Amino acid sequence: MSAVGALLRKDLRLELRTRESVPAMTLFSLSAFVVFHFGLQRSSLDGDLAAGVLWVTLLLAALLGVGRLFVTEREEGGFDAIRLAPVDPSAMLVAKALTLLSFLAIVQLVAVPGFGILLLGPSLLPALPGLLAVLALADVGIAVIGTLASALAVQTRARELIVALMGLPLLVPVVLAAARATAPLFSAGGASPPPLRWLGLLGLYDLVFALVAYAVFDYLLDD
Amino acid sequence: MSATEPATALELDRLERRYGERVALRNVSLSLPAGSTLAVLGANGAGKTTLLRVLAGLLRPNGGTTRVLGHELPREAPSLRGHVGLLGHDLLLYQDLSASENLRFHARLHGVEPARGEELLARMGLRERANEPLRSLSRGMRQRVAVCRCVLHDPELLLLDEPLANLDPAAAEAVAPLIGPGAARIAGGEPRTRVLVSHDPAPAVAQADLVLGLRAGRAVIAAPPDALDDDEIAELYR
Amino acid sequence: MHGKALRPGLKPLALATVLTLGGAYVLAFFYAPNDADQGFVQKIFYLHVPLAICALGGFIAGGVMAIGYLRTGEQRWDLRSYVAIHLSLIFAVATLITGSIWARASWGHWWVWQEPTLVSFLIIFLLYACYQPMRFAIEDPERQARYAAVFAVVAGAFVPLNFLAVRLANPLVHPRLLGSTGSLPPSMELTFVIAMVGMALLWVTLWKYEITAKQTSMQLRALKRRLAERAEMTLPAPAPRRSSAPRPTPAARPAEPVEL
């Protein structure tokens, strides 16, 4: 597992140095909120609509970062380096998923309060505990699927397109469950806890795809 | 890795590697004792890089028998990891990180003391610039960092593709103890087995114990240097 | 080679398909009663639901075959997986079209979000529509097959989860859905079962047919390639000097038997 640590530190250090993904994803989220304001012609959202706008934005922002996840490895020989080292190839999967998860967390640290300020009608604070649970579960799902989609697409010619085309349908259940779970948190009458069935669905999704990803990832690195 | 070193570093018997319908390597057979140097010659596209990657365990052979350091490929490829040092066209280094950071990363991947990276950089005379992003170093310096990366984990087998590219004579001399003829392991002191790919046949043949000449993926020469004449070698490039 | 094992089965299979499917639709028109609420239009059910079930089964089968390819590395599993997915995608489009027609005829709209099957199919269609573009954007054939297999496995695992999610989101279940065959009168049930069997036979027939066709053309290409290679090896040395001597005729080259 120290290999995962080494890979994760390397990726975070690279992001810190090059600032390729996180700022773009964050700015995109904030811009999207502005666009929604004008597109929906609303200054304040609550309930279903608020949940939907937040999750669609977070999803699209995530897809921005997903496309770049493996590009450096492909261009600078990262795949070879891993395969030459006495390291389980799945370590790369775990490390990249954790990297993406970290990026999502940092972006959401800014985007969610931004949403609270710009578009959300009811107060964000009482919704926070429940929201953090939903964010955590949904982010894991996005991270796993994002890593898989990125790894699949990095060898193709139309990389960014394939990532979006593949990622969006795969992530529909996540958006579905996350939005449904978040809606009661944003209700105009006061935040109520997210229904367990949606948290359960997110958990199931995370588990299934984490297992599937772990099982297939080796084959993506093989030659 | 077994406790005793295998006496033969490479044992290839009719090795074959295809890309779909195209044959990249066919009928390559040779036996290379441990500690010796193999020179691989051939024109562009003859299959030299493919061969190197197969020996590194990165490409799976499609036919024949391949044994590298006693491990049969592709079945035992995972056990080969960490015993091979590859220096190819890709430097396998991140341009945005510094030389130190790159070597520390590789050290951690291989379970090796990060301090060794610093030591190697010092030997290469790169200590002053070890903390700058690789992007800002010259190609020759980056090549030297790649050499450090290649030997960092003290591999038994070196796979070198044009190792002296972009190196001035002083730099070439500096890397010689690490990857040149007579390069020895830190662990046991025994000489490393080397496979050397070069576009310039003369210096490679001079160091070689065995010469492999490839033409369109086929081995047309597989003999020690004294058994060859210059015409045969020139034929490869026609 | 493998193709030979499939070919003898094809004719009787095709015959069985035509008979079963034809029989099913004859029954649908003349034997099964009209639905009380929806009238004649409901008969699309005998087309739409079997199509849906075969498409889903096909996608999952494609995923299983892909696992077979990943574990054995044998190219024929990749071919089977590819054809299964390719075929199921066509069935999925047909499902969407028949579903839409049914929706329009029954409820007046070309699309209803409340119909979980239709919605799930739309998502699945969008996902599998990526399969071919992704696959053919990878140049190395072995890597292409491997990546396609990984996609097929991931997508196959996705299908049931997707259905679950969409179903959970829609507590209102439309009547006459996949799970509602239990409440059908026996005449409808019989017709449905025959239609289901017929559709499954259709899927298998088309699948085998496409595989055989592809294998044959691959064998042809392999033979051509080997002929070309042999021709290369027996040609005179490159860079012949220009002279007035006649060029070697084909008869001058030794005839070599073509190895299979």
Of the residues C136, C138, C140, C142, the best mutation for testing chain B's interface (the one with the most B CB atoms within 10 Å of its CB) is C142
Per-residue pLDDT, A170 = 96
Contact C58, C87 (CB under 8 A): yes
Tokens of B159: 């796979």
Q: What is the mean pLDDT of residues B109-120?
A: 91
Q: Which residues of A touch B68 (CB under 8 A)?
A: none
Burial of C219 (0-12, 13-18, 19+ CB in 10 A): middle
Given the structure tokens 């079963």, which residue do they identify? Answer: C20
B218/B101 Cα distance (integer angstroms): 41
Distance of CA B207 to the CA centre of its chain: 14
Contact B81 A13 (CB under 8 A): no
* % of chain C with per-residue pLDDT over 90: 38
Q: What is the pLDDT of residue C222?
A: 85
Model pLDDT for residues B47-77, shown as the tens digit of each residue = 899 999 999 999 989 888 999 998 998 888 8
Q: Contact B21/C222, CB-based, under 8 Å? A: yes
Does A212 lie at the interface with C, CB-CB under 8 angstroms? yes
Query: pLDDT at position A2, please?
Result: 84
Which residue type occupies A143?
A
- pTM, rounded to two decimals: 0.86
Does pLDDT of C234 surpass 80? no
In three-state secondary structure terms, A214 is helix
- What was the pLDDT predicted at C241? 45
Mean pLDDT of chain B, nearest integer:
88
* Residues of A (148-187) whose Cβ lies below 8 Å from C: 148, 152-153, 155-158, 162, 165-166, 168-170, 172-173, 176-177, 180
Low-confidence residues in chain A, pLDDT < 70: none
Give the max Cα distance, chain C.
91
- How far is C-alpha C196 from the chain's CA centre? 16
Distance (Å, rounded) from C-alpha A10 to C-alpha C171?
A: 47
Dihedrals phi, psi of A121, to nearest 5 degrees: -75, -65
Q: Residue C254: its pLDDT value, please?
A: 44
Q: C3 falls in which pLDDT band (50, 70, 90)?
A: very low
**pLDDT band, very low/low/confident/very high, at B234 (cuts 50, 70, 90):** confident
Chain segment A132-163, per-residue pLDDT in tens:
999 999 999 999 999 999 999 988 877 888 89
CA-CA-CA-CA torsion sign (C104, C108, C113, C115): negative
Q: Whose CA is closest to C119, among C75, C169, C69? A: C169
pLDDT of residue B225: 86
The ranges assigned to domains in chain C are: 11-29+38-216
pLDDT tens-digit map of C71-124: 998 889 999 999 999 999 999 999 999 999 888 888 788 888 878 888 999 999
Tokens 């290409």, located at residue: C221
Q: Which two tokens stand for residue C168?
A: 């959970």
Q: How far does the CA of residue A151 sit from the closest CA of chain B (Å)?
A: 17
What is the DSSP track for C200-241? HHHHHHHHHHHHHHHHHHHHHHHHHHHHHHHHHHHSPPSSPP
State residue C238's pLDDT score: 54
Contact list in A for residue B76 (CB cut-off 8 A) is none
- Closest approach of A96 to chain B, Cα-based (Å): 15
**Hey, which bits of chain B come out as E strands?**
8-19, 22-33, 37-42, 63-68, 71-73, 84-87, 157-161, 193-197, 210-215, 218-223
Residue B106 has its nearest CB partner, among A5, A14, A81, at A81
**Contact status of C227 with chain B (Cβ, < 8 Å):** no
ipTM: 0.90
The pLDDT value recorded for residue B6 is: 62
Alpha-helical segments (H) within chain C: 2-30, 45-72, 75-107, 116-128, 131-136, 141-169, 186-234
